[in-house]
Structure 1
């Protein structure tokens, strides 16, 4: 056992050169090839009182459980969010579907969609004493159509454009206002109707639904709008769905609306995609008043490029390791597995060289002694020694003592003993030569 341990020690000492080589390869691969994903990102959300911000807060809290820091950045709305992505002010943004069509193709090519988070229906609240039959009728009313560059005005503008009502022909009674200001005016009777965009649970929508002097109108010709505005979807709202006490709406209605899409910019690290989508799935797992359980997140609209990591998530779910391990650990393990292949390719010739190099290093400990024996032999062949024979014999005997302390593996002992024999032979040869003199 001691002999085996000694042989193993010799082998390890002989191949110590591999340690710095392997360390350098591993360090270079990890430093240059696969930097770890950052555990932080910035998300543009919209106004602090809006639905985007409310959802983003829940998403932030869920991601914090995995040690991920999601910083929320308020904005003026979807258009501002797209501008912040383009200017690299944020890595992520919530964008109303269809808004991406308003930017240039060059800007759109820099964006990637992670998925749809939820639907944002368009709500048309009117005074209870009004009768609504179609959008043309609104020309005679005082109507809130949404503030400029807002998601609400983007949708209403698209509907009006489909009816060939262009901005320059908007009646003076239409007001570019929205949100709480429009709701206050509508409740106070200063407006006859108002358009609002947001999920059914939104505090503003719930406030309007609870007002007895207001009612929710149903849009007509929804299929015709959907055929022209493909980024919108049909939304069915059952009687009393928004407020059962006030029975809002008073009958089943149809409306339409965009979807809230999570969009990433160029600085977003794709490896974070499954982490964020899984957090969104947890936040949305119970569904909503209008969205059934398990509906979202869903595949994003085709108008935006989709990350490969997002496609994988929608097809197969989380990567295998992330199903069982925290994201930090799973991410590191994924990197190790991916880097193991090129590392093995690089190390294979090194490991293949271990055997020949090991044999050479061990035999070198033996063969270096033959150099002096060869020199003595050549001098004898040429007719004499440069040094005194007695001095050479003493030198060889010292070599013999040193050789006794040379340690080689058991499998190479035969060569060591052959050297002992050859050394002793040369000593005896020199002694015989000295006696003849």
Structure 2
């Protein structure tokens, strides 16, 4: 039993002594190599200065007008970002024109917005990238009064001409609804024949339900409050686009969406026949300076939120790319080919981003630091060897002085010099690899001292007479 206690005590003592020795070696290492370590620290700081900063914890995103599908969709993005530790703040705007203007403004903090494809010609608008299309936005034309059959429309030389004498809202100027409605009207050759009202979508919906206007264009998602309010009103009718294919040829960014009989409401049998709608797409546009990690987060949100099947889209159809006429972000190109970074698949967003930054910073740092760290032991040995050689040089100088001009009265003076030299040698903190050189120096000093302490004084020249 006693031997076990003794073994434990000896093991603990050995561990303590080893730890203390390691600590002394480390402190001595810092003292001797601090110039190189300081240089490495400066290099690391330089790499950090040129590296991307961490992503901001707050992002501003434009949602457009009140009550639209953008607002509903953006709230889902808010929940997604909140789970990732990022605050997504929604900003209401007047529409696509304001969104694009603010995104292109390098001083505006707005960083993301939903904008309809084909709303504006992107030529001359710089600083904006696309993260792809995330949803369909049908172009709806609702009207009041007796339901008009397709044959009546054909006789009137097109659906929109049937309402030229009525009050029709084409959306607020600067909104996506206004832009898309006017393009359709111009393509039909009717822009000079009508006088339209320019009401925001939610005002147009209220006016149509109250009978204050006869018809209204809306460009919005199927789930939006505005669209659902009109689809559920039996006094309001929806016009289909029989010439949808012609419109898509004239305006290639448009898509054809088909609605089967009863697709909106089986009890009301709404619509009462198969109809075709034409649709633009919702595009996720960003300030091209947005942090890449946030771009991947937006794309992942689009995949999870917009990638689900809905009334018009198949599962996995969104996001898709190449439909916005704005340049695709390099991050979107990477995502299209490879998906999300594998780190985001296995780790939380903040940890994946941190690991990515550490890899980005420390790989070049290690490429610079590795050769320097390898050279540290040699640098340390050379530095210590110079100190030992310096003391050897002093010792050799003392010995030379004693040989050339030694007097009996100077012996004590040289002994004091040797004691001081030995004290300096004792202050050296040498690595184990140089212990032999260190003790050889100590032995050499002791040898010179022993020579001075001899009675025969070997450093004193003796006068001798020789009888021949």
TM-score greater than 0.5 by the shorter chain: yes
- Maintained 8 Å contact 1:11/1:358: no
Compute the displacement of 1:398 (Å): 5.5
Cα 1:225–1:424 shift into 2, 3 Å? same
Instruction: State whether structure 2 residue 127 is matched by structure 1 residue 115.
Output: no
Question: Per-residue deviation at 1:119?
Answer: 0.6
2:320 equivalent to 1:303? no
Return the offset for 1:284.
2.7
- Structure 2, unmatched stretches of 5+, are 1-13, 464-468
Distance 1:24 1:179, change over 3 A: same
**Correspondence 1:30-49 to 2 at 5 A:** 30-49=48-67
Cα distance in 1 between the residues matched to 2:335 and 2:409: 83
Superposed CA offset, 1:248-294 (max 9, x none): 22222111121111111244223311112212333234332112222
* Pair 1:96-2:116 in alignment: yes
SS in 2 for 1:162: helix
How many residues get paired? Answer: 431
The yes-or-no answer on 1:66 pairing with 2:84 is yes
Give how far 1:356 is off: 1.9
Asked whether the 8 Å contact 1:46–1:75 carries over to 2, the reply is yes
Post-superposition Cα deviations, 1:334-384, rounded to whole Å, max 9, x if no partner, equal: 011011222022213321321221212332453332122121233245444
Per-residue CA deviation, residues 295-333 of structure 1 (Å, 9 max, x unaligned), is 222225251111111122222221111111121111111
Which deviates more from structure 2 when the two are superposed, residues 248-257 or residues 389-398?
389-398
Distance 1:90 1:435, change over 3 A: same
CA distance in structure 2 between the partners assigned to 1:180 and 1:396 by the alignment? 99
1:187-336 aligned at under 5 Å gives the runs: 187-301=209-323, 303-336=325-358
Does the Cα contact within 8 Å between 2:103 and 2:110 map onto a contact in 1?
A: yes
Contact kept? 2:129, 2:329, Cα under 8 Å: yes
Q: Distance in 2 between matches of 1:122 and 1:415?
A: 90
Q: Which runs of 5+ in 1 are unaligned?
A: none
Deviates more, 1:350-359 or 1:380-389: 380-389
Structure 1 position 57 matched with structure 2 position 75:
yes
Q: TM-score, normalized by length of structure 2?
A: 0.83
**Distance in 2 separating the partners of 1:55 and 1:189:** 30
Question: In the alignment, what sits opposite 1:125?
Answer: 142
CA RMSD of aligned residues (A): 2.8
Q: Does 1:433 align with 2:459?
A: yes
Distance 1:158 1:221 in 2: 15
CA distance in 2, matches of 1:42, 1:397: 75
* Aligned match of 1:420: 442
SS of the counterpart of 2:124?
helix
Give the 3-state SS of the residue equivalent to 2:78 in structure 1: helix
176, 187, 194: which one pairs with 1:171? 194
| DSSP 3-state at the match of 1:236 | strand
The ranges of structure 1 where at least 4 consecutive aligned residues each deviate by more than 6 angstroms after the TM superposition are 1-7
Q: Are the aligned partners of 2:117 and 2:324 in contact in 1 as well (CA < 8 Å)?
A: no
Tell me how far 1:198 sits from its aligned partner. Answer: 1.1
Distance 2:316 2:461 in 1: 104
- SS, match of residue 257 in structure 1: strand
Given the two structures, how large is their TM-score scaled by the length of structure 1? Answer: 0.88
Larger displacement relative to structure 2 (414-423 or 342-351)? 414-423
How far apart in 1 are the matches of 2:445 and 2:54? 61
Separation in structure 2 between the aligned mates of residue 397 and residue 436 of structure 1, nearest angstrom: 27
Contact 1:379 1:385 in 2 (8 A): no
Q: Distance in 1 between matches of 2:438 and 2:210?
A: 107
> Quick one: distance in 2 between partners of 1:434 and 1:428?
14
Q: Which range is displaced more, 185-194 or 413-422? A: 185-194
Q: Which one has the largest radius of gyration?
A: 2
Partner SS for 1:117: strand
Confirm or deny that 1:160 pairs with 2:202: no
Instruction: For residue 89 of structure 2, give the secondary structure of its aligned residue in structure 1.
Output: strand
